[in-house]
């Protein structure tokens, strides 16, 4: 802590069970170099700190539970809004799962070149009474097997509708088949 001067804007006070401070320069740890704007920390190391540069940190040793919109919101209101004016939003469950529950869940990438990416080391499972996939170009690639089964399977193409087996590639030009395959699925590689 720096030396107090008449112009210093540093304040701290210890109370039974907690400490309040403001204007204190952090001189060690992950937040070294930051200056607290307002901080309240308990003897159990729980609390919050606002920093002069706009950073905010909250520590809760157990479950953090927040109930919003309990009485005052209507069906069309947002009970909770999480907005980043600039930068990204990260939700990180370091030793657990992330579960989103709601009457409906909508993911929307609003940018003109926006994308939604689902990546899994094991499974991506989609289940619903009705499932739709719609796109200008839709590619489904299985590096080993692709299974398609239903009581009725309809396959329609407005200009051409092709089907074949790997042996068909060898009956025609092998190089042509490889080039066709690579051109069709180049986005996957």
As beta bridge partners, residue 14 has 19
- The order of strands in the sheet holding 56-59 is 11-15, 18-22, 36-42, 47-51, 56-59
Angle at 98 between CA 126 and CA 134, to 5 degrees: 30
Question: According to the model, what pLDDT value does residue 155 have?
Answer: 79
For residue range 155-188, what is the model confidence (pLDDT) as tens digits? 777 777 666 665 555 555 555 666 665 666 565 5
Beta-strand relationship, 18-22 and 11-15 = antiparallel
Helix/strand/coil percent split, the chain, to 5 = 10, 15, 75
Task: Tell how strand 47-51 and strand 56-59 pair up.
Answer: antiparallel
Q: What is the pTM of this model?
A: 0.63
Only one residue has tokens 């499932």, namely 131
Angstrom distance (rounded) from CA 58 to CA 64:
10
pLDDT confidence of residue 61: 94
10: how many CB neighbours lie within 10 A of its CB? 16
> What residues of the chain score a pLDDT lower than 70?
1-6, 161-189
């Amino acid at each position: 802590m720096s030396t107090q001067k008449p112009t210093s804007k540093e304040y701290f006070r210890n109370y039974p069970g907690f400490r309040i401070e403001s204007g204190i320069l952090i001189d060690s740890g992950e937040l070294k170099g930051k200056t607290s704007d307002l901080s309240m920390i308990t003897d159990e190391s729980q609390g919050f700190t606002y920093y002069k540069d706009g950073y905010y940190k909250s520590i809760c040793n157990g479950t953090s539970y927040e109930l919003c919109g309990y009485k005052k919101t209507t069906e069309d209101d947002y009970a909770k809004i999480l907005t980043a004016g600039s930068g990204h939003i990260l939700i990180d469950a370091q030793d657990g799962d992330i579960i989103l529950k709601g009457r409906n869940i909508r993911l929307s990438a609003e940018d003109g070149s926006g994308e939604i990416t689902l990546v899994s080391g094991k499974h991506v499972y989609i289940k619903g009474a009705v499932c739709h996939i719609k796109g200008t170009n839709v590619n489904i690639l299985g590096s080993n097997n692709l299974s398609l089964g239903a009581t009725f399977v309809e396959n329609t193409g407005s200009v051409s509708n092709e089907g074949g087996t790997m042996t068909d590639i060898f009956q025609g030009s092998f190089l042509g088949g490889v080039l066709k395959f690579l051109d069709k699925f180049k986005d996957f590689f």
